[in-house]
Chains A and B, each alone.
Chain A
Amino acid sequence: MAEKIAARTEALTENPFHYCPGCAHGIIHRLVAETIEELGVREKTVGVASVGCSVFAYNYFNMDMQQAAHGRAPAVATGIKRVLPDNFVFTYQGDGDLAAIGTAEIVHAAARGENITVIFVNNTTYGMTGGQSAPTTILGQKTTTTPYGRDPHVNGYPMGVSEMLSTLGGVAHVSRVSIYSPAQVNRAKRAIKKAFEVQREKKGFSFVEVLASCPTNWRMTPQDALKWIEEKMLPIYPLGEFKTAAEEGK
């Protein structure tokens, strides 16, 4: 009999992902779900889906889920976590959701040290609404609303959310990872696990930014999109651990 070497994690439902071919959301969902399964907390977890391509996350995560209004996931998660301090609560947000319309909510949830985990998917664009520019769009990048490329004099500068949040007192863990190679996927998994462990130890706010591809709106093949992350995004969004609870000696 063949040996089973890989199986779907029980923290994902059987529903097939609706994401475009080569989209990073599917990989990141799996990493979050595997982490939740490995920590054995699926039955104690409440996830918060945001507005963006991942709005249907509640169809895929096999656990209690709430769907939040655009940008408000950290506030919704705050409400849940304050009611259920012993449960695990995470949000899953895109860059339009978290870094534009939801800036106030993410900054204040972080500053309050809400004991939640935030998965921030930075694909430099508004995927769901058709590839408009985001606060994280890089300079010169063409989007449907920066057709001549992002010009800092008109559109401002890309936002380093991890850098910004890591300056806040309530924040226990911030890391930026990516999924452009198998090695990076493994690193991303470790970072997500660490973030959930920080939550388990009630150390405060934990945040993982994942540099992700949106081949559809970038108008690239999935392979070229991964290369684009490595070549164009990394110089602006360096990977690494910006802050951990361990460093603070908590």
Chain B
Amino acid sequence: MAKVLMGGNEALAEAALRAGCRHFFGYPITPQSEIPEYLAKKMPQLDGVYLQAESEIAAINMVYGAAGAGVRVFTASSGPGISLMSEGISYIAGAELPCVIVNIMRGGPGLGNIAPSQADYNQATKGIGHGDFHLIVLAPNSVQEMADLTMLAFQLAEEYRNPAMILSDGLLGQMMEPVEFNENPPKEKDKPWATRGAKGRDPNIINRLLIEAEALQKHNLKLQEKYQLIKETQCRCESYLAEDADILLAAFGSCSRMAKSAVEMARSRGIKAGLVRPITLWPFPEKEVAEAAKGAKACLVTEMNEGQMLLDIRLALKGRIPIHFLGKSGGIIPTPGEILEEIERIEVNLRG
């Protein structure tokens, strides 16, 4: 298939449609509005459901209902809306319903601003709602990946009966790039557990209440086993010029693009820099990051927040090498030049 030039949010929406998703429930918020607007146009032509809910709280609960009824379904929002969804996401994870949740991040906390940001890393990977559960979190860094990872998100959500999140930001959402859609989108799984009417079988119950302690613990242990399996099999990570790097950069999402440019600039000045880019933020590719850092003498984490993935990098590298941090927030994006300056400072120290 030929490449088409598209904005990130539109590519994501189109990928969901091509993955066979015909149900979307959402509520307007910048910078994700191109997604619902695209779907509001397309869904009626495809006999699908596009519904603008009265709030993100309602939207995520509509997703819960639709996912329980056994269809591919997704929603999209940004920080403030995702916060409102957190109760519903906990129910969805607890009830083991597959769905996709998109967060096109903006600056926080509070209303923050509408500029690109990576401020919701911790929320997505650590604290999206109450209870012992995890989202699968995928972080694209190009329009192409907005499309590819969306398809993957549907696949993983169904494979593990777990909500999956695309954690992106306003920069990737608005950016135009050529994209080629996967012509073999993931096949939809059978869902014998779905509530579609108990015709000729015992009733199916989608439920998140387990009043007996033993029963709830048993359910939690079953979830933990699933998370363990996901950790073992689904970590995704990319590295660039990491093998011989003295200084290893770590960045995800749109920030990794700036980091990559900085690595190239450093190399042209004779500094051996490299980059590791986690693609799954949960499960965090701990081993892959450690492997990429094997020969490095220092690490530089750069993010569009005040240091969130930084903690996971520290855990992965176990204090073996010094870890530096360059963060910008409020919609400010670290430029390749600024990152290069930091690399040069670290390099001088290393030689020191």
Contact = CB atoms under 8 A, between A and B. Distances in A.
Contacts of A58: 203, 205, 207
A43 B201 CA distance: 9
Contact of B61 (A42, A43, A69): A69
B140 interface: no
B197 interface: yes
Contacts of A79: 23, 25, 61-69, 73
Interface residues of A, number: 34
A79 to B, nearest CB: 3
A78 B52 CA distance: 12
Nearest to B62: A79
A69 B66 contact: no
A12 to B, nearest CB: 11
Interface residues of B, number: 38
A46 interface: yes
Contact of B23 (A45, A67, A82): A82
A24 interface: no
A76 B206 CA distance: 11
B149 interface: no
A48 B208 CA distance: 12
Given A43-B198, A79-B63, A83-B66, A63 B203 contact: yes
Nearest to B92: A69
A239 interface: no
Contact of B206 (A56, A66, A87): A66
Interface in A66-83: 66-69, 72, 75-83
Nearest to B25: A79
B65 A78 contact: yes
Contacts of B205: 58, 64-67
Contacts of B59: 75
B60 to A, nearest CB: 8
A62 interface: yes
B206 A104 contact: no
B287 interface: no
B140 to A, nearest CB: 26
Given A42-B198, A44-B197, A87-B197, A104 B54 contact: yes
A84 interface: yes
Give the top 10 A-B pairs by smallest Cβ distance, nearest first: A79-B65, A75-B61, A79-B62, A64-B195, A76-B65, A79-B66, A108-B54, A72-B61, A43-B199, A75-B58
Interface of A: 42-46, 48, 55-56, 58, 61-69, 72, 75-84, 87, 104-105, 107-108
